Amino acid sequence: MSKPTDLVQGTLDMLLLKILAPEQMNGFAVSQRLKQVSGDVLQVSDGSLYPALHKLEQEGWITAEWKTSEYGRRAKYYSLTRLGRRQLEKEADNWGRLSSAISRVINLKEA
């Protein structure tokens, strides 16, 4: 798996929060969804996914629950917390402002 671009690395947190926003998911599902929605453009290796998830958990933005999986063993399911929701809003705002600023610069007409 190729390394994600630097931009994605920085915003990985935000993406994961967004993906977990609608419902509770386990790690594998998160990675599938990310690939699916971004159309395989955002390639996040599973190796960097889990540390990111753990960090989010440590910060209190997502919380985890252990349930019995289809395979009969236990699996970890993540969901967004209230704090996480607020963090997501904040980061989405920042992202919006950043991306429109970049767009403005890129779209400058060459005189």
Interface positions with another protein (CB under 8 A): 1, 26-29, 32, 45-48, 50-52, 54-55, 57-60, 66, 69, 71, 73-76, 83
- Least distance from C-beta 96 to another protein, angstroms? 21
The Cα 104–Cα 111 span in angstroms is 15
- Least distance from C-beta 69 to another protein, angstroms? 6
Q: Closer to another protein at the Cβ: 29 or 92? A: 29
Q: Closer to another protein at the Cβ: 54 or 97? A: 54
Q: Closer to another protein at the Cβ: 8 or 75? A: 75
